[in-house]
Amino acid sequence: MSHSMDSMDGMGGMDSMNSSDSSMSMMMMMKTYLHFTPGDVVLFDTIHPTSAGTIFATCLIFFLISVGDRYLRAVARRLEHYRVRNAVHLAEFEAANDSKAQLPEGANTAIASLIHYTLMLVVMTFNVAYIISIILGVVVGEIAFGRLNH
Protein backbone atom coordinates (compact mmCIF):
# COMPACT_ATOMS: atom_id res chain seq x y z
CA MET A 1 0.00 0.00 0.00
CA SER A 2 2.76 2.44 0.88
CA HIS A 3 4.55 1.55 -2.36
CA SER A 4 1.52 2.59 -4.42
CA MET A 5 1.19 5.83 -2.45
CA ASP A 6 4.90 6.62 -2.95
CA SER A 7 4.59 6.09 -6.67
CA MET A 8 1.53 8.30 -6.76
CA ASP A 9 3.40 11.04 -4.87
CA GLY A 10 6.21 10.87 -7.38
CA MET A 11 3.76 11.43 -10.22
CA GLY A 12 1.89 14.19 -8.47
CA GLY A 13 -0.95 11.80 -7.71
CA MET A 14 -1.78 13.18 -4.28
CA ASP A 15 -1.89 16.75 -5.55
CA SER A 16 -4.14 15.79 -8.41
CA MET A 17 -6.33 13.79 -6.05
CA ASN A 18 -6.69 16.82 -3.75
CA SER A 19 -7.58 19.14 -6.63
CA SER A 20 -9.93 16.46 -7.93
CA ASP A 21 -11.60 16.25 -4.52
CA SER A 22 -12.06 20.03 -4.35
CA SER A 23 -13.49 20.20 -7.86
CA MET A 24 -15.73 17.25 -7.02
CA SER A 25 -17.04 19.03 -3.92
CA MET A 26 -17.62 22.17 -6.02
CA MET A 27 -19.59 20.14 -8.54
CA MET A 28 -21.68 18.69 -5.72
CA MET A 29 -22.43 22.21 -4.43
CA MET A 30 -23.56 23.47 -7.84
CA LYS A 31 -27.29 23.07 -8.33
CA THR A 32 -28.30 21.83 -11.77
CA TYR A 33 -31.95 22.73 -11.42
CA LEU A 34 -33.81 26.04 -11.34
CA HIS A 35 -33.64 27.58 -7.88
CA PHE A 36 -33.72 30.84 -5.90
CA THR A 37 -31.05 29.72 -3.42
CA PRO A 38 -28.49 32.43 -2.54
CA GLY A 39 -24.75 31.84 -2.61
CA ASP A 40 -24.18 30.77 -6.23
CA VAL A 41 -20.77 31.58 -7.63
CA VAL A 42 -21.27 34.20 -10.33
CA LEU A 43 -18.58 34.28 -13.04
CA PHE A 44 -15.65 34.39 -10.57
CA ASP A 45 -14.92 32.30 -7.48
CA THR A 46 -14.89 35.40 -5.29
CA ILE A 47 -18.37 36.58 -6.31
CA HIS A 48 -21.18 34.68 -4.59
CA PRO A 49 -23.98 36.97 -3.41
CA THR A 50 -25.71 35.69 -0.29
CA SER A 51 -27.68 38.59 1.21
CA ALA A 52 -30.83 40.02 -0.31
CA GLY A 53 -29.08 43.31 -1.06
CA THR A 54 -26.17 41.75 -2.93
CA ILE A 55 -28.49 39.47 -4.90
CA PHE A 56 -30.62 42.48 -5.85
CA ALA A 57 -27.51 44.42 -6.92
CA THR A 58 -26.33 41.44 -8.97
CA CYS A 59 -29.73 41.14 -10.64
CA LEU A 60 -29.71 44.87 -11.37
CA ILE A 61 -26.28 44.59 -13.00
CA PHE A 62 -27.45 41.68 -15.19
CA PHE A 63 -30.59 43.64 -16.08
CA LEU A 64 -28.51 46.64 -17.18
CA ILE A 65 -26.09 44.45 -19.12
CA SER A 66 -29.05 42.92 -20.97
CA VAL A 67 -30.47 46.36 -21.78
CA GLY A 68 -27.02 47.41 -23.00
CA ASP A 69 -26.89 44.32 -25.19
CA ARG A 70 -30.13 45.33 -26.89
CA TYR A 71 -28.73 48.83 -27.38
CA LEU A 72 -25.63 47.44 -29.09
CA ARG A 73 -27.82 45.28 -31.28
CA ALA A 74 -29.93 48.30 -32.25
CA VAL A 75 -26.77 50.26 -33.10
CA ALA A 76 -25.53 47.38 -35.26
CA ARG A 77 -28.88 47.21 -37.07
CA ARG A 78 -28.82 50.98 -37.53
CA LEU A 79 -25.30 50.85 -39.01
CA GLU A 80 -26.33 48.05 -41.34
CA HIS A 81 -29.41 49.99 -42.43
CA TYR A 82 -27.27 53.06 -43.05
CA ARG A 83 -24.77 50.99 -45.01
CA VAL A 84 -27.45 49.51 -47.27
CA ARG A 85 -29.14 52.88 -47.80
CA ASN A 86 -25.90 54.59 -48.73
CA ALA A 87 -24.22 51.64 -50.46
CA VAL A 88 -22.81 53.63 -53.36
CA HIS A 89 -21.26 56.40 -51.28
CA LEU A 90 -20.12 53.97 -48.61
CA ALA A 91 -18.39 51.76 -51.16
CA GLU A 92 -16.32 54.73 -52.31
CA PHE A 93 -15.52 55.64 -48.70
CA GLU A 94 -14.58 52.07 -47.77
CA ALA A 95 -12.31 51.78 -50.78
CA ALA A 96 -10.35 54.76 -49.51
CA ASN A 97 -10.46 53.84 -45.79
CA ASP A 98 -10.93 50.07 -45.72
CA SER A 99 -9.49 49.33 -42.26
CA LYS A 100 -11.22 52.30 -40.61
CA ALA A 101 -14.63 51.24 -41.93
CA GLN A 102 -14.36 47.72 -40.49
CA LEU A 103 -13.15 48.73 -37.04
CA PRO A 104 -16.50 49.82 -35.50
CA GLU A 105 -18.27 46.70 -36.75
CA GLY A 106 -15.53 44.45 -35.43
CA ALA A 107 -15.52 46.15 -32.05
CA ASN A 108 -19.31 45.96 -31.83
CA THR A 109 -19.22 42.24 -32.68
CA ALA A 110 -16.50 41.56 -30.10
CA ILE A 111 -18.39 43.40 -27.34
CA ALA A 112 -21.67 41.69 -28.26
CA SER A 113 -20.01 38.26 -28.17
CA LEU A 114 -18.47 39.01 -24.78
CA ILE A 115 -21.84 40.08 -23.40
CA HIS A 116 -23.65 37.05 -24.85
CA TYR A 117 -21.17 34.54 -23.46
CA THR A 118 -21.16 36.27 -20.07
CA LEU A 119 -24.94 36.17 -19.88
CA MET A 120 -24.91 32.52 -20.98
CA LEU A 121 -22.57 31.66 -18.09
CA VAL A 122 -24.87 33.49 -15.67
CA VAL A 123 -27.91 31.56 -16.94
CA MET A 124 -25.95 28.34 -16.42
CA THR A 125 -26.01 28.99 -12.66
CA PHE A 126 -29.73 28.06 -12.89
CA ASN A 127 -30.56 30.86 -10.45
CA VAL A 128 -34.06 31.98 -11.40
CA ALA A 129 -33.57 35.51 -10.07
CA TYR A 130 -30.63 36.04 -12.45
CA ILE A 131 -32.49 34.49 -15.38
CA ILE A 132 -35.56 36.67 -14.81
CA SER A 133 -33.34 39.76 -14.57
CA ILE A 134 -31.70 38.95 -17.90
CA ILE A 135 -35.03 38.28 -19.62
CA LEU A 136 -36.55 41.49 -18.26
CA GLY A 137 -33.48 43.42 -19.41
CA VAL A 138 -33.83 42.00 -22.92
CA VAL A 139 -37.52 42.91 -23.02
CA VAL A 140 -37.01 46.45 -21.70
CA GLY A 141 -34.03 46.97 -23.99
CA GLU A 142 -35.95 45.79 -27.02
CA ILE A 143 -38.89 48.05 -26.16
CA ALA A 144 -36.56 51.01 -25.62
CA PHE A 145 -34.17 50.49 -28.52
CA GLY A 146 -35.99 48.20 -30.95
CA ARG A 147 -37.66 51.20 -32.57
CA LEU A 148 -34.33 52.80 -33.53
CA ASN A 149 -34.52 51.07 -36.91
CA HIS A 150 -37.94 52.42 -37.82
Phi, psi of 50 (to 5 degrees): -120, -30
Q: Is the pLDDT of residue 96 over 80?
A: no
Mean of pLDDT over the chain? 79
What global pTM score does this model have? 0.71
pLDDT band at 63 (very low <50, low <70, confident <90, very high): very high
Q: Are 81 and 149 in contact (CB under 8 A)?
A: yes
Average pLDDT for 114-124? 95
DSSP 48-116: ---SHHHHHHHHHHHHHHHHHHHHHHHHHHHHHHHHHHTHHHHHHHHHHSHHHHHHHHHHHHHHHHHHH
**Tens digits of per-residue pLDDT, 22-56?**
554 554 577 888 999 898 999 999 999 999 999 99
- Give the per-residue pLDDT at 20: 53
Indicate whether 74 pLDDT > 50: yes
> Whole-angstrom Cα distance, residue 109 to residue 49?
30
Does pLDDT of 94 surpass 50?
A: yes
Cβ atoms of 55 and 49 closer than 8 Å = yes
Helical axes 87-96 vs 52-85, angle rounded to 10°: 100
